[in-house]
Chain A
Amino acid sequence: MRQIKHLFIFSALVLLMGFSFSNFLGIYHQTILALCGINIILAVSLNLVNGFTGQFSLGHAGFMAVGAYVSAALTTLWLPTLTNPFLMTEIGVNLFFLFALLAGGIAAGLTGFLVGVPSLRLKGDYLAVVTLGFGEIIRIFILNIEPIGGARGLIGIPQLSNLYWIFGFVLLICIWIHRIVSSIPGKQFMAVRDDETATSAMGLSTTRIKVRSFVYASFFAGIAGGLFAHYIAYLNPATFNFNYSFQIVAMVVLGGMGSLTGSVAAAILLTGLLEALRPLQDLTGVDLRMVIYALTLIVLMLTRPEGMFGRHEIWEFFKKFKKSPQGFVR
């Protein structure tokens, strides 16, 4: 019964968000919201690795690229060759899109597994460098595949993604990750973060735990990539360079390592800020956006080095909890 109730609340929420966003906002604000939503998924999923498991990954954009290209290749190259009449209908196309998204996510998760198994035996700086390298390898690999556009980019992707899809996945993934980190395997992630030696002394395989967290994160990044590809309707390997990975890391650090709502807030802030500052260009004549963007990061990091929310979730501030529900004192 409880599940049905939750499912009902969830669908109502998605419909409400999708409906209000698509009907009361112009396409420009919708585009910004869509990008916010995609960045939320990326930040929240990276938080699983960087925040909750304490492993520093710098290759998130690479996994997003895998998901984006796999799903876009399915809908752009494979879908038009299928002759099943069901796939011509609105429902059929959307179901195929869901399938493509999941396929992209699974491909990204698989890549995450292949990258994670050798590299997650490393720690700290070494892991950061290795993931950075893998992220670039994935991008260069895509750059050399001719059928999906190579350096020119993949054109003609059907615009299937919309705010219903994006915010449906945002809600689903946020809830999913929240449930992961509140479960026993999630506690294992945090155990690895807090004391790896103690965790392995307890008889747990820390590498396995780290790989699991990494695969989850890559899977979600792949979904975000699929949503991105079908919203922008054009893919270019240059989009997924390490700058994008850094941006996602900035969101996680700014929001607070280990705070899901922090990542959500930071993703909205950083995505929205750059767009909100555009009018400034009209007033001053020079593009000050990146200067202010960088200054915001510096000021926030100096005043709150632990990130906006630290390790807390937003509701903990309102309930004035001394202890977080997870049971550890910060």
Chain B
Amino acid sequence: MKRFNSSLAFLFLALAAVGCKQKNQNVIRVGEFGSMTGTEATFGISTHRGIKMVIDDVNKAGGINGKQLELISYDEGGKPEEAVTVVTKLIAQDKVDIILGEVASSRSLAAAPIAQRNKVPMISPSSTNPKVTEGRDYVFRVCFTDPFQGKVLARFAREDLKAKRAALLIDKKSDYSVGLADFFRKTFESLGGEIVIEQNYAGGDMDFKGQLTSIKSKNVDVILHSGYYTEVALTMKQAKDLGIKTVFIGGDGWDSPKLSEIGGKAIDGHYFSNHYSVDDQDPRVQDFIKRYKALYKEVPDGLAAMGYDAALVMVDALKRTNGQVGPVFRDALAATKNFPGVTGVITIDENRNASKPAVILKVQGDGSYKFVKRVNP
């Protein structure tokens, strides 16, 4: 009985969630949600570090128009339904003025309707699915979308690699992969290229020899592999075994240390498009990398750079409104033009997507990426 009472008491204690916080006029509240735990924990942690660097810089420099920035971050463990809870908490309890997040499109898609309904501007650092911002005038992103990436790759293949005949290798299970290949096809054909063959697989497959043999017989100049790093690395290995020397190209789904871990030497000489490059000699980029390394003792990945840029774009818009938030801030954000970020010059277009350059990287056998060129929109 006693134990039962104590468990009841515990229950009520757990239920007694904390009350509302006081709204301070001299602080701009920035809410962040991300996956700090779970299978995609590195995504959330990297993004958070990038964001925190900007917030600390601004506060050290005296804030915006005398107002300090307060960052409130919550972990949603990579679960869409928890993203809904924490974004509701950010808006209702913490009364944030701006929301930053998320990396994965699924969580952004879950949270965006809430931000829109409550008219709180939300900036996604790196959700590339077109649906995230579609029809929501309070939801923005600072990364490019999948259609743009498809275009960039097609232009690179056609103009730089001088490819005429291309093959597509598509992960039918992934929305990202299918979309990327579709947009690649459109641009490539409009530039006078020809898609000779299209082969499909399902994410998680291990054997690509069948698809590769069919592609080999068609004698193509370039192969677009629009999937994620695990399958990409396996495909390259098997292509090497089959004696295929054709160049592979792909999207930001390749960007992972796992690519060289799995692929070994076979990944040497292939190209993919990404958000930024650590080899970019632009002083802004090098300065960011140096400071990030000093703070966190590792080289920033693409997601850290995107988090950094999302926060920078937010601060830039806040400076233009003199620290005012709400609809004025939303309009300022929408008017962002030629903003120099670490991942390129960012302009927010009429669909609240970032129009910005992508970089083409060449994969080296030792797992590092060599900067090839920057492709402007």
Question: Does A151 interact with chain B (Cβ within 8 Å)?
Answer: yes
Question: Does A20 interact with chain B (Cβ within 8 Å)?
Answer: no
**CB neighbors of B among A223-248 (8 A):** 228, 232-234, 236, 238-239
Q: B175 touches which one: A29, A152, A275, A303 (CB < 8 A)?
A: A152
Q: How far is the CA of A152 from the CA of B110 in the complex (A)?
A: 11
| Binary flags per residue of A126-155, CB closer than 8 Å to B gives 1, else 0 | 000000000000000001100000111101
Question: Does B213 interact with chain A (Cβ within 8 Å)?
Answer: no
Q: How far is the CA of A252 from the CA of B113 in the complex (A)?
A: 33
Q: B18 touches which one: A27, A151, A236, A279 (CB < 8 A)?
A: A279
Question: Does A265 interact with chain B (Cβ within 8 Å)?
Answer: yes
Q: Which residues in A have their C-beta under 8 angstroms from that of B36?
A: 287
Which of B72-80, B150-158, B266-274 lies at the interface with chain A?
B72-80
Question: Does B322 interact with chain A (Cβ within 8 Å)?
Answer: no
Q: Which residues in A have their C-beta under 8 angstroms from that of B88?
A: 27-28, 31
Q: Which residues in A have their C-beta under 8 angstroms from that of B61?
A: none
Q: Is the CB of A303 within 8 A of B106?
A: no
Q: Which residues in A have their C-beta under 8 angstroms from that of B92?
A: 26-28
Q: How far is the CA of A275 from the CA of B75 in the complex (A)?
A: 11
Question: Does A18 interact with chain B (Cβ within 8 Å)?
Answer: no
Q: How far is the CA of A181 from the CA of B348 in the complex (A)?
A: 60
Q: Which residues in A have their C-beta under 8 angstroms from that of B113?
A: 233-234
Question: Does A117 interact with chain B (Cβ within 8 Å)?
Answer: no
Q: Is the CB of A150 within 8 A of B37?
A: no
Which of A8-16, A46-54, A196-204, A266-274 lies at the interface with chain B?
A266-274
Q: Report the minimum CB–CB distance from A102 to chain B (whole Å).
A: 23
Q: Is the interface of B mostly helix, strand, loop or mixed?
A: helix
Question: Does B7 interact with chain A (Cβ within 8 Å)?
Answer: yes
Q: A151 touches which one: B11, B89, B174 (CB < 8 A)?
A: B174
Q: Which residues in B have their C-beta under 8 angstroms from that of A290?
A: 37
Question: Does A300 interact with chain B (Cβ within 8 Å)?
Answer: yes
| Binary flags per residue of B167-181, CB closer than 8 Å to A gives 1, else 0 | 000000111000000
| Binary flags per residue of B105-131, CB closer than 8 Å to A gives 1, else 0 | 110011001000000000000000101
Question: Does B84 interact with chain A (Cβ within 8 Å)?
Answer: yes
Q: B80 touches which one: A234, A300, A317 (CB < 8 A)?
A: A234
Q: Is the CB of B11 within 8 A of A239?
A: no
18 A-B Cβ contacts within 8 A? A26-B93, A27-B88, A28-B85, A28-B89, A28-B92, A32-B17, A143-B173, A152-B175, A232-B81, A232-B110, A234-B84, A234-B113, A268-B11, A275-B17, A278-B89, A287-B37, A303-B3, A317-B1
Contact surface of A with B, Cβ cutoff 8 Å: 26-29, 31-32, 35, 143-144, 150-153, 155, 228, 232-234, 236, 238-239, 265, 268-269, 272-273, 275-276, 278-279, 281, 287, 289-290, 300, 303-304, 308-309, 317
Contact surface of B with A, Cβ cutoff 8 Å: 1, 3-4, 7-8, 10-11, 13-18, 20, 36-37, 74-75, 79-81, 84-86, 88-89, 91-93, 105-106, 109-110, 113, 129, 131, 173-175
Having A28-B89, A32-B17, A233-B113, one finds 5 other A-B pairs with CB under 8 Å, namely A152-B106, A232-B80, A236-B110, A276-B13, A300-B7
